[in-house]
Amino acid sequence: MDYDAIVVGAGHNGLAAAVHLATRDWKVAVVERADEPGGAVKTRELTLPGFRHDVAAMNLSMFAGSGFLAEHRDLLSAHGLGFVPAADCFASVFRDGTHLGVSTDLDKTVAGIAARSPADAEAWKAMLAGFGADAPHIFGLLGAPMPSLAAAKVLWKAWRRRGTGWLHDTARLLLASPRDFLDARFEDPAVKTMMAAWGLHLDFAPDVAGGALFPYLESMANQAFGMVIGQGGADTIVKAMTGALAAKGGELILGTAVERIETDGGRATGVRLADGRLLKAKRAVIANVHPKLLFGRLLPPDSARADFDAKVARFRAGPGTMMIHLAMDDLPDWRAGADLRRFAYVHVAPDMAMMARVYAEASAGLLPAEPVLVVGQPTAIDPSRAPAGKHVLWIQVRVLPAEIRGDAAGTIAARDWDGAKDAYAGRVLDLLETYAPGTRAKILGRAVFSPLDLERENPNLVGGDNLSGSHHLDQNFLFRPVPGWSRYATPVKGLHMCGAFTWPGAGTGAGSGYMVGKMLAGR
């Protein structure tokens, strides 16, 4: 029961740390309270036999482009890692029955934009050209601990190659709201809306400072590289990592919760399991556990870290999320055009005013009258996820309150998610029906996860926040999860954190787990 490192939580970041350490001949154990690994990256038959649904995360583009995969590609591929590329990446539908989409075929994307604004078509191509020069430096920063010598070297190299003006422009990008960034570069409202929809994948309404980066990166990266999903399901990355871990001698303990982190003289020495077992860690304990759970449940309060604990207590969740999974007889017939059936994502977020209103309503504790929908059509890309000729639909509802204080539409009386979930799912499907008539008639089965259900599924998703903490500027970069502790260490020696609540934040890129592994065991 002695290990070099123990990882608490088998989410993809925890697994990435474990795999990296195991390849460096560390003896590693990963302990997971659930009966299956993966955290927010799981695939199950939630509705009917043969229909495989990604429970939460679907888009694996960040993992496919990650430093972790670049280093361990051969090992992961040997254990079944598989991706399916999407040439038609994402689109937005609008109230007038039209749409705009981004495909890897630049001419196709530009033609759609040019039909609305020739000037914006040229601006799109110019932005893409600039992205080619920006990308190595921006992704270099996202792949470096914050702060670190590696991050400083990225900035130095960027300054040498691009000059002081580029640093100023990038700083403005990092601080800008989506609206301000897009208004400065495009004229057509639909183009700006299509890009701004990515902000709500995090918790950035159009006018929230710091929200411009994600719409920029997602729009340009999808144009330049495309989108990928997992072959057979997003859990392909989890299966590959657990297989790789076992092959390197690591141990995965499922269905057993960690009761507490053991310490001695201010240092983490192991973990005590709920069944009474004690696992000892000679070098490190790595917690892929939300900081409020880690320092609120697994470690007792300590006056020596009172300031740190107070900061953790103030760590804010982002808005809640609902997931609706549908087994379908066919894909939706989108009113805006049959070619929408080919896209991996369709955003039902028709204008910036609507996105701003949704965010304001959810922030006030209200059920939004007209929610933003991210409609995933994975079987348009990977038919293996459903029986022949059938489909699955993945609907993420953004954004929602964790605690319900009222209904902006005034029709749902329930003030708890168990009571409101079915009625609100009905509102979502009614909205989808207006953009894709006949969708309800194609539903063969459904599974709905409210924000409360998502937290029950994965306690790291506090209040149904699939981001594990707001990404607003005061909780991002050097301040994630709390100021002074952005490099994965904690006041408890030998105890490290990884996960979406640490830099570089949410997504499937495995960045924090990989960086913890490198910091502990080198490259």
DSSP conformation class of 314: T
pLDDT of residue 523: 59
Q: How many CA atoms lie within 13 A of 162 on its CB side?
A: 21
pLDDT, tens digit (0-9, with 9 covering 90-100), for 116-136: 999 999 999 999 999 999 999
Its sign, for the CA torsion 228, 230, 235, 237, is negative
- % of the chain beyond a pLDDT of 90: 98
**376-408 in b/e burial notation, b at 16+ Cβ within 10 A?**
bbbbbbbeebbeeebbbbbbbbbbbbbebeebb
Which of 218, 213, 184 lies closest to 92 in space, CA to CA? 218
Average pLDDT over residues 144-162: 94
CA–CA separation, 186 vs 426, rounded Å?
36
Q: What does the alpha-carbon distance between residue 514 and residue 421 come to, in Å, rounded to a whole number? A: 37
The answer to pTM > 0.75 is yes
The label of the residue with tokens 């051969």 reads 74
* Beta strands at 366-367 and 406-407: parallel, antiparallel or unpaired: parallel
Q: Answer whether residue 301 shows pLDDT above 90.
A: no
Helix (H) or strand (E) holding 129: helix 118-142
Domains of the chain: 2-83+233-315+470-521 (3.50.50.60), 105-225 (no CATH)
Residue 248 predicted with pLDDT over 70: yes
pLDDT digits (tens, 9 = 90+) for 315-356: 999 999 999 999 999 999 999 999 999 999 999 999 999 999
> Which residues contact residue 285 at a Cβ distance below 8 angstroms, ignoring those fewer than 6 apart?
5, 6, 7, 8, 261, 268, 269, 270, 271, 494, 495, 496
| Mean pLDDT, residues 448-477 | 97
Mean pLDDT of 459-466: 97
From start to end of 344-389, where are the E strands?
345-348, 366-367, 372-376
DSSP, collapsed to helix, strand or coil, labels residue 211 as coil
Radius of gyration of the chain (CA): 22
For tokens 């590329």, name the residue: 85
Closest CA to 266 of 507, 497, 490, 8: 490
Mean pLDDT in residue range 44-64: 98
Residue 296 predicted with pLDDT over 90:
no
CA separation for the pair 412, 392 (Å, rounded): 28
Confidence label for 300 from pLDDT (cuts 50, 70 and 90)? confident
Contacts of 184 (CB under 8 A, 6+ apart): none
Does the pLDDT value for residue 193 go beyond 70? yes
pLDDT one-digit tens code per residue, 199-240:
999 999 999 999 999 999 999 999 999 999 999 999 999 999
Tallying the residues shown for the chain, one arrives at 523
Give the model confidence (pLDDT) of 99-121 as tens digits: 999 999 999 999 999 999 999 99
